[in-house]
Chain A
Amino acid sequence: MKKRVTLTFPRRAVQMPVTYRLAKDFNVATNIIRAQVAPNQVGKLVVELLGDIDEMDAAIEWMRSQDITVSLASREILIDEESCVDCGLCTGVCPTQALILDPDTYQLKFTRSRCVVCEQCIPACPVQAISTNF
């Protein structure tokens, strides 16, 4: 199964080859969706974990034992439908077509499952209708 999580690394864990350990010790594949990691700083990774449910839970347990904060509620894009004017500007910068205009109604359509939370749409919106939940 698949699980999207946000990992926050303390400074010293940044150097650790986490994805390698997850694959080797737990048979869990990691698909990195967004990364904010620099040497000697608190790092953040949004990843999609892929594997057997028990092994995935064990992997999460192990990461927590390494002082990595594992948050299951990952960052999500929110669209304020009241503010949105359906101008479509965000659809031109979205790399995954998570945002498209309906070809008949020209209403904005957001497909959450396609969104990789790259956040490029946020500054593109002229009426500030797009935000993240945290």
Chain B
Amino acid sequence: MLRTVAEINEKIQQQKAVVLTVEELKARVQEVGVTQTTQEVDVITTGTFEPMESTGAIFNLGHTDPPIKIRQCWLEGVPAYAGLGAVDLYLGATVMAEYGGLGDAEESRLNTVLPERGGGHVIEDLIAGKPVQLRALGQVTDCYPRPSFETTITRDTINQFYLFNPRNLYQNFIVGVNGGDRTLYTYLGPLYPRLGNAVYSNPGAISPLFNDPQLEIIGIGTKIFLGGGIGYITWEGTQHFPLQKRLPNETPIGPAATLAVIGDAKQMTPQWVRGCYFKNYGASIMLGVGVPLPVLNEQVVAHAAIQDQDIVAPVVDFSIPRRVRPTFGLVSYAHLKSGQIKIDGQMVRTAPLASIRLSRQVALELKQWISLGQFTLTEPVAPIPGDRTFLPQDRWGSQRASE
């Protein structure tokens, strides 16, 4: 081993660490090769800014007098989950005002004024310091006699407020197209019929997990940039599928590893946490997430040197709404970023969904934090499992029957 995390941290604290963004690193490797780059560089910063549906905020309201055990709760008409401790709430990014509400007059007023808002927008508002209206219904018990409560909260009038995201940072994803004959409204935005457009949602070779393909240097406990504040990797993400097929360069050919992350929302900024809405699909949230990679040895640099032409994603036809959709084969990120790809002999326009400009900016911002000695690195306390399969949900017995 060339360097340890402890040695790198010492340099960071003395503001002597050499930090490159992953794009600067790729360029440097092209110039001087892996060995020399490894000698020169201490830390590589990666970043992404893209919609991450499986995101949500946990917060604690503090107790009212008389106290309430909240069982149902709405923030700006958007329902939050209340099946935890009396005043603990979880607000998911994709929940929308239209669903699960009371259906009363106030609710429908909110729906007509704000039809395109969901949990993601409420989280963004709280992070921006805006007041948010809260309405709660309680279960009356001897400990908690209050039946209902209404107030306005801000991030400064609640206790803990942190993002706890069960699935962020997809390692690769798909490219969506529509081979049918009507427009489809999807989580990748509108897909036009007869292969009218193609949307890819991963920013490619700059994306964090493409640069540590087997999750060898990051793991549980890795400190990260999350929404403009500090966060940590806490677990494998939901749908974590490291056993996805891989190219000889070890990068997966489709959706693979995912991570669960946590971070203090009170430190975050609305620039890096943006509620969003996909027409006729629903609400979501766009997040800036950055991951530092310590240059421990040459292999770290060799992995991070990967370019857009070395990685691929499957082109998936959304016109067949089944679990396993037909694909039109694999396409490289270099082709995707050129603005056009060829499918079945037809030229199809491509558009990203991740913001490549803001992904780069996350990496730059994290680089600045580290260069200024404000952000040190952590060593993982446990690895992310590398052997998870991805089970489908079939009716009981059908799997056994098909064996």
Contacts and interface: CB of A to CB of B under 8 A. Distances in A.
Are A and B physically bound partners?
A: yes
Contact of B199 (A86, A92, A100, A105): A92
A127 interface: yes
18 contacts: A85-B358, A86-B355, A86-B358, A87-B286, A87-B354, A87-B355, A88-B355, A89-B189, A89-B199, A89-B351, A89-B353, A91-B349, A92-B350, A93-B197, A101-B356, A106-B356, A106-B357, A126-B284
Contacts of B350: 92
B274 A127 contact: yes
B49 interface: yes
Interface in A110-134: 120, 123-124, 126-128
Nearest to A127: B276
B81 interface: no
Task: Identify the interface centre among A88, A91, A123: most chain B CB within 10 Å of its CB.
Answer: A88
Contacts of B278: 126
B355 A106 contact: yes
Q: Chain A binding site: helix, strand, loop or mixed by DSSP?
A: loop
B147 interface: no
A25 to B, nearest CB: 40
Contacts of B284: 126
A88 B49 contact: no
B357 A92 contact: no
A85 B279 contact: no
Interface residues on chain B, size class: 20 to 34
Top 10 A-B residue pairs of the complex, sorted by shortest distance between their CB atoms:
A92-B351, A126-B276, A106-B356, A92-B197, A123-B279, A106-B357, A86-B357, A88-B352, A89-B189, A87-B355
A101 B199 CA distance: 14
B351 A86 contact: no
A15 interface: no
A85 B272 CA distance: 10
A88 B188 CA distance: 11
Given A92-B197, A93-B190, A128 B277 contact: yes
B198 A92 contact: yes
Interface string B285-296: 010000000000
B352 A87 contact: yes
B116 interface: yes
A85 B49 contact: yes
A124 B352 CA distance: 12
A88 B356 contact: yes
A107 interface: yes
A85 B274 contact: yes
Interface in A62-103: 85-93, 100-101
A31 B349 CA distance: 26
A101 B340 CA distance: 13
B190 A123 contact: yes
Nearest to B190: A124
B357 A107 contact: yes
Contact of B353 (A88, A93, A105, A107): A88
A128 to B, nearest CB: 7
A93 B275 CA distance: 22
B192 interface: yes
A93 B355 contact: no
B131 to A, nearest CB: 20
